[in-house]
Structure 1
Amino acid sequence: MSATSQLVMDQAVESLLDRVPNPCVGEELSRVEGPLKVSGMATYAAEYTFDGEALHGYLVSASIAKGTVESIDESSATSIDGVVAVVTDFKAFIRNSQQGGEKKAPTQGVQEVSYFGQPIALVVATSFEAAREGAAALKVEYTQEQGAFDFIAELGKREPMTSGNDKPVHKNNPDEGLANAAVKVDSIYITPSQNSAAMEPHATIAEWDGDQLTLHCSMQMLSSCKQQICDALALKPDNVRLISRYVGGGFGSKLGISPESIAAAIAAKQLQRPVKVVMHRIQVFESTVRRTNTRQRVALGADRDGRIHTIIHNTICTNLPGESFFEPAAISTHFAYSGQNREVKYEMVRMNQVLAGSMRAPGEAVGMLALECAMDELAEKLDMDPIELRKLNDPAIDPSKGIPFSTRKLTDTLDYGAKHFGWENRHKTPASQREGDWLIGMGMASATRNNQLKASAARVTLTPDAHAIVETDMTDIGTGTYTVLTQIAADMLGLPVSQVEVRLGDTDFPPAAGSGGSVGACSSGSSVYMACKKVRETLAKALGVEEDNLTLQAGQASGNGMCKTISELIQENVVAMGQIEPGKTTKQYTQASYGAHFAEVAVNVVTGETRIRRMLGVFAAGRILNEKTARSQCYGGMIFGIGAALMEELLHDPHNGRLLNHDLAEYHVPVNADIPPIDVVFLPERDPYANPLHAKGLGELGISGAGAAIANAIYNATGIRIYDYPLTLDKLLDQLPAL
């Protein structure tokens, strides 16, 4: 039986990681699972094999965007060689994916069609090719209805959103403050729908053993996904197991269950065979989740000296009828800058388009494209340096809640970035620096991302031969979780990393927060920390010393002049559970990570092409657990920012809602040739109010504000300010200066 060590974050705590000898945490340790991945030995969801050959399922997608399925001619598919069955369940199949962290099933019932591409049936065959052919041949009769496909045409039907991912705020007199402001900006920013475009498509293999269902899947948050599966299929938790040891990217699209999971489970039960369902890339785009498009009004009012007194940030976004998720675009606006007059408001337009949900840095990713460009525009009207404007309005306490910040190093990141990027060489006058046909410009933006701690649990087993086994259902979606948890356990137990084994991605293990919202490393890492702390208590007792006097190093325990090996202290496995939960510090302090982005661009005066020449990101996010994996996360976030600024845009046909660029050939994401030299710097910081690791979320900080720095650099290069993302060359061409 295992002992449990639990911590509720009700106050600041010390960290044992500050006292360990020869610490591994923070070092640039290469991924411990890296050799498995590069050798093809890491098993992803669709790669599991079984004693009995698995059948292949292929989802059938609706060819209308609004209406009803009247009939399905199964014989049109089953007549094809290799097709075993057409599986339908109009009540139990799920209509769309679920949002992250939800415990209930997503909307079920697929006879009613709500968007083009909605899965309505599953063709099962002995091969993927036969299943795909059968799905293409399946004849479906529909009754079509008029849907909502044109965002602009539907704007008049928007509805207020008063609860959800962020809350509306109206503080003091924002309208009056703006009207009387000595200097102000008031602009509308447009951001398009986007797709996560993870490398690994959504996939599930379902297998039944009597009443026991096992799903090999690609999901980010296993604990809540398991609850969604149970609810959708009316199963008891003890009868469901999810396995997701390696996930080939998610970026929010795999936070909740998606349609293939329930379809595979129903088909496997009906056919008494394992069934594998892997979404085609087009289906990933059409029937999983998108980042919503937004129409944001950002208005700023300031005194002549640059002190901001009014901030308005109102957002209109879209989603399916009945869905409550909206993009919290102003989630950082609440605390980014000072200002006594404040308004945040959200409105929703209901559209017959694929589900809108969380995509990397939901809120900040698109909200800061607007806010940080508005700050740049305000600085110009004030004839003030953009960095100085931000520093002047860096608040001492949260201006919306009136509570202190746990830590806040925004100004430090701005100063460091300005010095190391060479900001003093920036030409203040737009379109005044030229190299042949290229206009050169610099831009910058702040980065802010709220920090959260989620309930998480882990089990640690220490063997007499000084090996540690860490178990939690936490996932690694390419972010380095295996490595970071290895480092934490190694430091806490005084072991080399070669003697630590981390087991993830299995709901038979203790439930973790999962990968999403930049909470994974800190939450699951804290639960591993607490489990190791309990093991340390056992070792201290066996050695006869207080835990505070215990030192663990190289498989030996010492204290008060005594020293023994692990094998001398314990004769059987020591098993401990660790649990972490958010507490009072979450409400008493505003917790966030901060940074500053800098970009230099060149814009061709003939073609309008933008080339990014270099970027710098400076970040403060508490203790950095692994500099190599952390830097990789920031690289990825900044590249996301490049995509958002210059190219990423889902296009819906306004006549029928159909996606027009539903694959990686036509949905443009940044590739190697698009990426300039990128430098990432971490400033030293510890946050004792966040968790016992003193670390804060980092993964999504890299995207927050990155695109705005590029947009501001384009303005500095050309004198053209664009409010409609992405900033493609056609929006620049007719405004570029003459040769």
Structure 2
Amino acid sequence: MAHSISIDGVDRHVGAARSRVDGPAKVTGLAKYAGEFDAPDLSHGYVVSSAIAKGRITAIDASAAEAVPGVVKVFTHENRPRTAWLDYNYQDQVAPPGSPFRPLYDDKVHYSGQPVALVVAEDFDRARYAASLLRIGYEAEAPETDLTRQQDLAYVPPKKRSGIKPPPGARGDADGAFDAAPVRLREDYRQAPEHHNPMEPHASTVVWEGDGRFTVYDKIQGVSNSQSYLMAVFGLKKDDVRVISPYLGGGFGSGLRPQYQLFLAMMAAQVLERSVRVVLTRDQMFSFTYRPDVLQTVAVAAAEDGRLQSVRHDAISGTSRFEDYQEVVVNWSGILYECENVSLNYKLAQIDTFTPGDMRAPGAVTGVFALEMAMDELAYATGQDPIALRLRNYTETDHTEDKPISSKELRACYAQGAERFGWQARNPESRSMRDGKELVGWGMATGVWEALMQKSSAQAVLTADGRLEIGNSTADLGTGTYTILTQIGADTLGLAMEDVTVKLGDTSLAEAPLAGGSWTAASSGTAAMRACREIAAQVFTLARGMENSPLANVDFERVAFRGGRIEVTDDPSRSVTLIDAMRAGGLDRIEAMGSAESDPGQMKKFSHYTHSAIFAEVKVDEELGQVRVTRIVSAIAAGKILNPKTARSQILGGVVMGIGSALHEESMLDHRLGRFMNHNLGEYHVPVNADIYDIDVIFVDEEDQANPMGVKGLGEIGIVGTAAAIANAVYHATGKRIRHLPITIDKVLE
């Protein structure tokens, strides 16, 4: 049952638990995804992937495939059309520096699974069968995919990636302070590469509309990114290509950049002048973006009471040969704790894979894991409780930017999380707690993520029947954006949620940033609120101008919108319905645009972060080495919570992914072949129902002025620090410190 909140005796939707407005469409199958849209004369493309990881194509024999009845065309680098795609004329919104990958560009093979041909046929099965008949010759080179063998060639990226802060300069003397400190720890940490594996595979349906115009249904977290890609690569004008993506079956960052099936589908549709659909297989989902392999060394030194004297965090991240992928890995070690001597270093090393990509909380999942394990090790070395150690080094300042943090209720996260978890009953000695034959471990960690806001716009339309429509081009990945925008619109104009419709994921709507980085609620939410407020002001003017209006001589600040009416706040009997106001004004509709972007003054004065404290209980079978995460308490300080129900779901999902990072997920590279070998959901392990026990989410009260909505975003913070809390709990249970994730049975028994 949804609960309401009341402000001045009026029920409000924002801040109350509300079920997803898009839920019924999803559970009944009415929601359509990119690979499900139909079109007349629709053909199907099947991608052929390279059999080698590095080298060149020496020959392609497509005769047998082309002879299959129903095959329309086989595209390869030998017959692909010329496109406008050059290195310098296209960079998508999240692209790293370098040369974007160009499918079927030439005979070179850059990585295993690279698309080398597209077979287009009248139906999918025929295309797949014909693809098996292609005969491709290769001249193979030995690939290098082992990051440890490339680390001596690591380099500082010469050009920074837009939106990614490079490590700040050193402060103090980290090496000297380390050598002089009484307690010193230096350890290596590593987290296996991970693939996003959303339930919905990547797909594109390109509908030929005639006259060189196209409607494109693409799996993407920002339709404007796909549109600008297609315009640049194929020389199309904005009016020639409309991109639509109303629903996504998960993305986790894999849908931030256009993937290669979009290029192949548009290429075929343009040449054939007919509609084409290309859907990638699960195997092919392992042939592009992934969370990178990163080698990390964290050195921490402290006084005997645990006060930090030195922090040094060094990381080497793998990237492709053609792009310098970057994420914020080490910076967190200069933000979370008070320390005068800090050195942070981040380098790249090239390997023969596709470019890594942003995966839920990119960089933070990796860097905070290493830092928070090091802090746990320091707690044991100094005889401190892990929470006490963190409080001893607590800071309200972002020393990397030399700014105060706008709001930080992390102390409350520690306190409330510890109380809910029962932390006070923890025996600090490892291997000291048991439940029958299982060792019991309790661990904790801190989480942090940026509270971001991007430039956004939104449109709103109020019609004469009292219904409101809100729209912009951002995406709902399953995060609840449809729902929170509905709540915002309903509250702003005093309507029932049933009278509000939200449209998303369409380039014909108001432009908004792609959905990622936990900025959607702040960005699109603020723009939608402002559009609705503009409508409220216009309809109020109509109401006040009515003959014998009850609102005559009343200022806008003295009215409230509720129940489909405009009421004088201190005298609700004086009111006008929205419908009557529009009828009196002779209007069928009122339209407005709203925009939002970060406040330069706020950004200049403060740093903005979301924080969390994660507490984990594990039970370890000492004989079998099996680890179960039996309890998680995640206490979150994320500003205003717009919808506790969808917010809790975001944290639950993040925690489950954190459990996956800690215990399950590992993309395994065979360095001889240069190939990810467990390229299916049978061998790539993700947590399933039997792996998940109790997850308790606490939202700590926090007020912030980072944006007009007062929100900080929740998509990322649920996963950050979770793996470290679990790894720390495993140490507490077993006395064995496992610094290379995932923590698998062999490592426990080793």
Q: Secondary structure at the match of 2:25?
A: helix
Q: Which residue of 2 aligns with 1:491?
A: 491
Kindly report which structure 2 residues correspond to 1:222-237, keeping only aligned pairs within 5 A, or say none: 222-237=223-238
- The whole-number CA distance in structure 1 between the counterparts of 2:302 and 2:463 is 63
**2:101 pairs with 1:107:** yes
Q: Secondary structure at the match of 2:404?
A: coil
Q: Secondary structure at the match of 1:590?
A: coil
CA shift for structure 1 position 608: 0.8
Which letter does structure 1 place at the counterpart of 2:94?
G
**2:657 pairs with 1:640:** yes
- The whole-number CA distance in structure 2 between the counterparts of 1:607 and 1:499 is 56
Whether the 8 Å contact between 1:459 and 1:531 is mirrored in structure 2 is: yes
Relative to the length of structure 2, the TM-score reads: 0.92
- The whole-number CA distance in structure 1 between the counterparts of 2:740 and 2:290 is 18
Q: Which residue of 2 aligns with 1:32?
A: 21
**2:137 pairs with 1:137:** no
**2:430 pairs with 1:430:** yes
Which letter does structure 1 place at the counterpart of 2:540?
A
Whether the 8 Å contact between 1:340 and 1:399 is mirrored in structure 2 is: no
Which letter does structure 2 place at the counterpart of 1:149?
T
Which letter does structure 1 place at the counterpart of 2:125?
E
CA shift for structure 1 position 20: 9.6
Whether the 8 Å contact between 2:96 and 2:324 is mirrored in structure 1 is: no
Offset from partner CA, 1:97-120 (integer Å, 9 cap, x none) = 987534999332253211010112
1:121 to 106, 109, 117: 117
1:548 to 557, 569, 577: 557
Structure 2 CA distance for partners of 1:190 and 1:103, relative to 1, 3 Å: closer
Q: Secondary structure at the match of 1:290?
A: coil
Q: Unpaired runs of 5+ in structure 2?
A: 1-5, 545-553
- The whole-number CA distance in structure 2 between the counterparts of 1:28 and 1:461 is 25
CA shift for structure 1 position 39: 0.6
**2:63 pairs with 1:75:** yes
- The whole-number CA distance in structure 2 between the counterparts of 1:81 and 1:154 is 48
Offset from partner CA, 1:35-78 (integer Å, 9 cap, x none) = 1111111111111112x231110111111111122332221311
- The whole-number CA distance in structure 2 between the counterparts of 1:403 and 1:18 is 35
Kindly report which structure 2 residues correspond to 1:203-602, keeping only aligned pairs within 5 A, or say none: 203-209=203-209, 210-286=211-287, 288-544=288-544, 545-559=554-568, 561=571, 562-570=574-582, 571-572=586-587, 573-584=589-600, 585-602=602-619
Whether the 8 Å contact between 1:93 and 1:110 is mirrored in structure 2 is: no
Q: Which residue of 2 aligns with 1:66?
A: 54
- The whole-number CA distance in structure 2 between the counterparts of 1:609 and 1:324 is 38
Q: Secondary structure at the match of 1:327?
A: coil
Q: Which residue of 2 aligns with 1:167?
A: 166
- The whole-number CA distance in structure 2 between the counterparts of 1:290 and 1:174 is 33
Which letter does structure 1 place at the counterpart of 2:100?
P
Q: Which residue of 1 aligns with 2:143?
A: 147
Return 609-618 or 433-442, whichever deviates more: 433-442
Kindly report which structure 2 residues correspond to 1:697-712, keeping only aligned pairs within 5 A, or say none: 697-712=713-728
Percent pairwise identity: 38
CA shift for structure 1 position 146: 3.1
Which letter does structure 1 place at the counterpart of 2:167?
P
Offset from partner CA, 1:517-570 (integer Å, 9 cap, x none) = 111122111110111121122133234443322210011012375410112212
Whether the 8 Å contact between 2:74 and 2:119 is mirrored in structure 1 is: yes
CA shift for structure 1 position 332: 2.5
Kindly report which structure 2 residues correspond to 1:658-673, keeping only aligned pairs within 5 A, or say none: 658-673=675-690
Whether the 8 Å contact between 1:622 and 1:684 is mirrored in structure 2 is: yes
Whether the 8 Å contact between 1:102 and 1:228 is mirrored in structure 2 is: no
- The whole-number CA distance in structure 2 between the counterparts of 1:100 and 1:605 is 49
Return 389-398 or 490-499, whichever deviates more: 389-398
Structure 2 CA distance for partners of 1:569 and 1:102, relative to 1, 3 Å: farther
CA shift for structure 1 position 331: 3.7
CA shift for structure 1 position 344: 1.4
CA shift for structure 1 position 435: 2.7
CA shift for structure 1 position 244: 0.2
CA shift for structure 1 position 208: 2.3
Whether the 8 Å contact between 2:222 and 2:505 is mirrored in structure 1 is: no
Which letter does structure 2 place at the counterpart of 1:488?
I
Offset from partner CA, 1:414-464 (integer Å, 9 cap, x none) = 011111100011111001112332111100011111111011110000112
CA shift for structure 1 position 144: 2.1
- The whole-number CA distance in structure 2 between the counterparts of 1:437 and 1:244 is 51
Structure 2 CA distance for partners of 1:146 and 1:443, relative to 1, 3 Å: same
Which letter does structure 2 place at the counterpart of 1:718?
T
- The whole-number CA distance in structure 1 between the counterparts of 2:451 and 2:289 is 24
Return 651-660 or 494-503, whichever deviates more: 651-660
- The whole-number CA distance in structure 2 between the counterparts of 1:226 and 1:315 is 35
The total of aligned residue pairs comes to 715
2:154 to 151, 158, 163: 158
Q: Secondary structure at the match of 1:536?
A: helix
Q: Secondary structure at the match of 2:387?
A: helix
**Higher RCO (Cα < 8 Å, 6 or more apart):** 1
Return 152-161 or 528-537, whichever deviates more: 152-161
CA shift for structure 1 position 595: 0.9
Q: Secondary structure at the match of 1:159?
A: coil
Return 312-321 or 330-339, whichever deviates more: 330-339
Q: Which residue of 2 aligns with 1:182?
A: 182
- The whole-number CA distance in structure 1 between the counterparts of 2:71 and 2:717 is 47
Which letter does structure 2 place at the counterpart of 1:56?
H
CA shift for structure 1 position 94: 8.8
Whether the 8 Å contact between 1:102 and 1:224 is mirrored in structure 2 is: no
Q: Which residue of 1 aligns with 2:549?
A: none
- The whole-number CA distance in structure 2 between the counterparts of 1:376 and 1:463 is 58
- The whole-number CA distance in structure 1 between the counterparts of 2:419 and 2:492 is 37
1:713 to 721, 729, 737: 729
Q: Which residue of 1 aligns with 2:548?
A: none
Offset from partner CA, 1:583-642 (integer Å, 9 cap, x none) = 312232110111111111111110111011111111010111111111011000000100
Which letter does structure 2 place at the counterpart of 1:589?
F
- The whole-number CA distance in structure 1 between the counterparts of 2:537 and 2:331 is 41
- The whole-number CA distance in structure 2 between the counterparts of 1:553 and 1:312 is 56
Q: Which residue of 1 aligns with 2:640?
A: 623
Q: Which residue of 2 aligns with 1:45?
A: 34
Whether the 8 Å contact between 1:100 and 1:252 is mirrored in structure 2 is: no
Relative to the length of structure 1, the TM-score reads: 0.94
- The whole-number CA distance in structure 1 between the counterparts of 2:9 and 2:356 is 45
Q: Which residue of 2 aligns with 1:7?
A: none
**2:738 pairs with 1:722:** yes
Which letter does structure 1 place at the counterpart of 2:579?
S
CA shift for structure 1 position 724: 0.9
Whether the 8 Å contact between 1:540 and 1:546 is mirrored in structure 2 is: no
Q: Secondary structure at the match of 2:397?
A: coil
Q: Secondary structure at the match of 1:526?
A: helix
Return 233-242 or 632-641, whichever deviates more: 233-242
Return 409-418 or 203-212, whichever deviates more: 203-212
Q: Secondary structure at the match of 2:403?
A: coil
Which letter does structure 1 place at the counterpart of 2:664?
M
Offset from partner CA, 1:390-418 (integer Å, 9 cap, x none) = 11211022122221111001111001111
Structure 2 CA distance for partners of 1:207 and 1:19, relative to 1, 3 Å: farther
Q: Secondary structure at the match of 2:132?
A: helix
